Amino acid sequence: MDDSDDDQSMEHVLERLLEQFPTVPRRQVVELVDEELDSYEGEFLDEEEVPSEVEESARERLAELTASRPDTSSDEDSP
């Protein structure tokens, strides 16, 4: 896999995560994906496995992040 394939794969990961976590700012998702990608540097993984591993790790972190945020959507419905 060359660099353009890597970039395209990671862009797809980013887009899927942004769709799944629309309340998280794009910049924050990008930073988190970059952190996860950096954490796999030097690992003995097939290059094709890295995007899925990054996506899974980032998804778990984003789920924890959004679960810890207070839900303000119900406040809007209150009189």
The pLDDT value given to residue 41: 82
Token pair listed for 12? 């797809």
The pLDDT value given to residue 43: 74
- Residue 50: CB atoms within 10 Å: 20
Residue for token pair 């998804």:
59
pTM of the model: 0.76
- Mind listing the pLDDT tens digit for each residue in 41-57? 877 777 788 899 999 99
- Mind listing the pLDDT tens digit for each residue in 17-74? 999 999 999 999 999 999 999 998 877 777 788 899 999 999 999 999 999 876 555 4
